[in-house]
Structure 1
Amino acid sequence: MCAVVGVIGKSPVNQLLYDSLLLLQHRGQEAAGIATLHNNKFYLYKSKGLVKDVFHKEAMLSLLGHSGIGHVRYSTAGSSSSEEAQPFYVNSPFGITLSHNGNLTNTDELREYLYKNSKRHINTTSDSELLINIFADELSYASLNFNYINDDIIFKAVSELHKKVRGAYSVILEISGYGIVAFKDPYGIRPLCFGYQNTEKGKEWMIASESVALEGNGFNIVRDVNPGEAIIINLNGDFSHKQCANNPKLIPCLFEYVYFARPDSLMNNVSIYEARLCMGEYLAMQVAKTINLMDIDIVVPIPDSSRPSAMQLANFLNINYREALIKNRYIGRTFIMPGHSSRRKSVKQKLNAIGSEFKNKNVLLVDDSIVRGNTSLEIVEMVRAAGAKKVYFASAAPQVKFPNVYGIDMPNKTELIAHNKTNEEIAKSIKADRVIYQNIDDLKKSIQKFNNSINEFDASCFDGKYITGDIDDNYFNKISNRNN
């Protein structure tokens, strides 16, 4: 999972891009980068690490210009090396920088196409490098008979890109001397929104993965970028948009609402916080069906994403709610740590139990999800060591049984604790007395309650149904062989 941001401003944008990336840091902690444009020259700085560590004073001062794009990353496709940090840059045609959130599913096909048809060499394993070269190639063809570019030429390039690329992609790119372009895949799997603020010097525009980046910087939210749509904001601040896909349909990722997004964000006109409260009510009904409520003394959230669901569950069931697991906020999110050993070490550094709250009590722990189960196991052991008599474990998400190929690091079925296991077997694996999962239909209702125009979701990690239609055992075998 990654985050992207782009700004067309009326004054230097380096600090604004930096502040936006800080607000989006939860979506990726492996690498960060910013590319700005000044006098038709790009200034680019990127490296591995957190935003606050990557951008020292000299780096910030080097990022000149009134427009630019930014990115925070954790690796899904490709490696976690510094060379795959974003934004990416190509010099032809016109000069382009690009930031991408998502994951492409036909990378081998695209790599072969670029080499055979355009003699373009891809130097990394990043699908984002493929994406910028596909766009550059299409922009080159669309502008072949012209000595200039305009909105129509750019929209044509995006339309042709949609025909070739499969998977999830929310993209922000900048073309030297022209402006910023943003677009989503035809399903709108990954989030992207835009807004503006009025300043003394004129209107400024921002595009970002989550609305929290806009609101946190004083921008007014306009709306989400639609599936298949492209928007263009030129260097003068003029805005245009066009639908560039043949059959667009909003099918957003369900896991965004459960885990990735910040609770203070709006996504497809849905308040993440309100949706998670609703998830808590539905989960409470599952708990009431499964456990004698007299056997639960306290409800404890596993911070942070599960807090709204846990609070609402406790309120709904009239059970005491306790913040009995304290989080060290200087440790990254364990689910998106790149490897098991770093995740395992991080759990012990990240959480500490308040013993007096657990001693001689039956506890219901609430988490947003159970993915690999390693973190859940260590937390259950921690709570038992703190004196709990019984430990029940409730997940605000259904069983994660299948890999997600659209931008979440779940590449292997064997890593997923719920794959081919019953709830009883899962409970035994994480040493809980019982495990309770959210019902998938209830999870969907939690979101549709606030936007009933969303008729479908990408729920592939729960139901194994891949909306791009190109995922099979051969695809997973190729990924497994590549990783090995």
Structure 2
Amino acid sequence: MSDEIKHECGLAFIRLRKPFSYYLQKYGTVMYGLNKLYLLMEKQHNRGQDGAGIAAVKLNTEPGYPFLYRTRSNAQQPIADIFFKLGQELKELEKYQPDIKQHPGLMKGHLPFMGELLLGHLRYGTQGKNNVEFCHPFIKRDLLPGKNLALAGNFNLVNTEELFDLINIDPGEFQKQSDLAAMMEVVHHFLSKEDDKQPNAANVVNVLKKATPLFDGGYTIGGLIGNGDSFVMRDAHGIRPAYYYIDDEVIVAASERAAIRTSFNVGENEVLELMPGNALVVSGNGDYVIEQVLEPKERRACSFERIYFSRGSDEKIYRERIALGYHLSKRVLEDISYDLKNTIFSYIPNTAEVAFYGLVKGMEDYLNQIKIQRILSWGNDVTEEKLQEMVTRKIRQEKIAIKDVKLRTFITEDASRNEMVQHVYDITYGTVQKNEDTLVVIDDSIVRGTTLKESIVRMLARLKPKKIIVVSSAPQIRYPDCYGIDMSKLGDFIAFRAAIELLKERGMEAELNKLYEQCKELQRTNQLHTENIVKGVYKPFTPEEISLKIAELITPKEIDIPVQVIYQTIEDLHDSCPTNLGDWYFTGNYPTPGGNRVVNKAFINYMDGKNVRGY
């Protein structure tokens, strides 16, 4: 992706179902659970680089001894930092007893994170600051084991203020900045009430049935309870992803299927999707149930998971990204006037590579049809030379754009910073026939367009192509996200800025004020959640008109090479990713009322000149 946007977070959950001695005997290590947790987190490293944290619960500890542990890091490599420190603790133990790893009981007693219940989290900061205090898991401690809770998740909530009000808590400055703090207070509130009824044996399903209907947002959450119970739960729309694997040795859950498959070396069909509204609840004795906690609603699983966020090593996601590129091939062919001889195809590294393969496959299918038609049209007039020329004709592919080091500059003035941004990408010289070749580059999505304008288009223009076509495997991003991706400022979106420019050019600025007044009236009557007023900004224009304006906006003034932008259609997106139909950032059709409230608030902020988040 050319423009970096905040990813969803990642969750890793492990419940060991055998004694530590079992793993020592079978796998040669009592560290089996921690090793797998490390793997599970590293295989989801793409999901969070602002920080990480782990929690562990030990079963059957002696009264008075600690049983819940938690550590977090916001170091540059937070996962490595956490597990390096765990390794150092083990080395200290080995100084006094070199063979301690051969004694499961001693290891459990002396190594803090040798727990049967493990919870890991990778954080991308979508709300709050990137201080270590904001890293998951959060914990609540109590003298009673059954009221101790560690909680982590992949989510954003848009009703945190209401949640604090519901349980009569006046949040502190820290809590106001964290939706996990609100979720923690609500879950713990109902856990404590249940534990009062049955000390150390609270009904976890009942807790979730009371707490989760209050959450407005998309979420997958994992929790460890001090009495040995644990759970993983997914929202009713299935907005955030969740997968699990169970055998007689372990119960595992994570945000990505491929992470579980790789870490535990199991087949695709052995890793199951936790369905919307369902919870995986594991009791202290290792038994489990899959329980429907919330009535499932219309499935609106996030399509960005398939386009960009999740690793493409999952075979289904890989095929879907191929399809995204393939669907764009017909429109690209039309726009290059079917001139494959003078067109070079490339991609913006590194995440658009798979969609690029799909785009090229579409071109190859067309070229093969042409080859067959031409050869058949020759009849008997076939020569070896003509046949050789025809069958060796190929789609021209080059690695044009190269992502260089991630530049971090101390320079603050705009002119110097823009000069540095230009060099985030480099180009491969000598690949383009000057003024003859059209250059087609595919990106997975275009958010702000800043890097395209300040870096990529400038660099591509140095090759002097006849034309530059930027292809997006995602549709136009028009609306904020509030369910896990930090895209909440309308002014950041180049599609929104393009629509605003078109309104101004056509003397329709009064329409903006009209929409603003509608939003303010809804705000005054506490009805911001009832409809998406911002759809009116785009209503006067076709997608093609907005694409033309976007192309204009991403073209630096000094560049005289024509630049065009082609976007995926909503219909082709859904056809390519049939199980992930969540498209609110493209269509404005939010799955929960909180989404409408966020988009309308973001529009009010934009009109008021406030550069703040919409929630």
- State whether TM-score is above 0.5: yes
Q: Provide the C-alpha distance between the structure 1 equivalents of 2:296 and 2:245, rounded to a whole number of angstroms.
A: 26
Match of residue 93 from structure 2: none
Is 1:281 paired with 2:326? Answer: yes
Q: 2:154 aligns with which of 97, 101, 113?
A: 101
Match of residue 469 from structure 1: 593
Residues 252 and 260, structure 2, Cα contact 8 Å, conserved in 1: yes
What CA deviation, in whole Å up to 9, does each residue of 1:171-199 have, x standing for no partner? Answer: 111111323200011111010100135xx
Q: Aligned runs of 1:310-325 on 2, under 5 Å? A: 310-318=356-364, 319-325=395-401
Q: Aligned runs of 1:109-120 on 2, under 5 Å? A: 109-114=162-167, 116=168
Is 1:234 paired with 2:283? Answer: yes
Match of residue 417 from structure 1: 494
Residues 325 and 352, structure 1, Cα contact 8 Å, conserved in 2: yes
Q: Provide the C-alpha distance between the structure 1 equivalents of 2:195 and 2:229, rounded to a whole number of angstroms.
A: 16
CA positional deviation for 1:157 = 0.9
Q: Which has the higher contact order (CA 8 A, sep 6+)?
A: 2
Which structure would you say has the larger Rg?
2
Q: Provide the C-alpha distance between the structure 1 equivalents of 2:265 and 2:186, rounded to a whole number of angstroms.
A: 32
Match of residue 78 from structure 2: 51
Aligned positions, number: 457
Q: 2:115 aligns with which of 65, 70, 90?
A: 65
Is 1:209 paired with 2:255? Answer: yes
Match of residue 5 from structure 1: 12
Q: 2:294 aligns with which of 225, 245, 258?
A: 245
Q: Specify the code of the residue in structure 2 equivalent to 1:446.
A: S
Q: 1:128 aligns with which of 180, 200, 203?
A: 180
Match of residue 148 from structure 1: 200
Q: 1:30 aligns with which of 47, 50, 60?
A: 50
Q: Specify the code of the residue in structure 2 equivalent to 1:301.
A: Y
Match of residue 460 from structure 1: 584
The percent of aligned pairs where both chains have the same amino acid is 26
1:147 and 1:407, CA in 2 relative to 1: closer, same or farther beyond 3 A? same
CA positional deviation for 1:429 = 1.7
Q: Provide the C-alpha distance between the structure 1 equivalents of 2:399 and 2:188, rounded to a whole number of angstroms.
A: 51
SS in 2 for 1:418: helix
Residues 358 and 383, structure 1, Cα contact 8 Å, conserved in 2: no
- In terms of fraction of residues, the more strand-rich structure is 1
What CA deviation, in whole Å up to 9, does each residue of 1:257-277 have, x standing for no partner? Answer: 1111111126xxxx1000111
What CA deviation, in whole Å up to 9, does each residue of 1:267-320 have, x standing for no partner? Answer: xxxx10001111111111222333323175211111222112111212211332
Q: Provide the C-alpha distance between the structure 2 equivalents of 1:121 and 1:219, rounded to a whole number of angstroms.
A: 45
SS in 1 for 2:430: helix
Q: Aligned runs of 1:285-300 on 2, under 5 Å? A: 285-294=330-339, 297-300=343-346
Q: 1:309 aligns with which of 351, 355, 358?
A: 355
Q: Provide the C-alpha distance between the structure 1 equivalents of 2:581 and 2:420, rounded to a whole number of angstroms.
A: 32
Q: Provide the C-alpha distance between the structure 1 equivalents of 2:423 and 2:147, rounded to a whole number of angstroms.
A: 48
1:37 and 1:434, CA in 2 relative to 1: closer, same or farther beyond 3 A? same
Q: Provide the C-alpha distance between the structure 1 equivalents of 2:353 and 2:475, rounded to a whole number of angstroms.
A: 17
Q: Report the more deviating stretch, 251-260 or 87-96.
A: 87-96
Match of residue 427 from structure 1: 551
Question: Considering only aligned residues, what root-mean-square deviation do their CA atoms show, in Å?
Answer: 2.7
- In terms of fraction of residues, the more helix-rich structure is 2
Gaps in structure 1 of 5+ consecutive residues: 333-339, 449-453
1:358 and 1:98, CA in 2 relative to 1: closer, same or farther beyond 3 A? farther
CA positional deviation for 1:345 = 9.3
SS in 1 for 2:478: coil
Q: Provide the C-alpha distance between the structure 2 equivalents of 1:280 and 1:168, rounded to a whole number of angstroms.
A: 28
Q: Provide the C-alpha distance between the structure 2 equivalents of 1:464 and 1:370, rounded to a whole number of angstroms.
A: 17
Q: Specify the code of the residue in structure 1 equivalent to 2:348.
A: I
SS in 2 for 1:323: coil
Residues 301 and 366, structure 1, Cα contact 8 Å, conserved in 2: yes
Q: Specify the code of the residue in structure 2 equivalent to 1:28.
A: G
1:113 and 1:239, CA in 2 relative to 1: closer, same or farther beyond 3 A? same
Match of residue 97 from structure 2: none
Residues 355 and 387, structure 1, Cα contact 8 Å, conserved in 2: no
Gaps in structure 2 of 5+ consecutive residues: 1-7, 21-30, 90-111, 365-394, 408-413, 499-545, 556-561
Residues 3 and 71, structure 1, Cα contact 8 Å, conserved in 2: yes
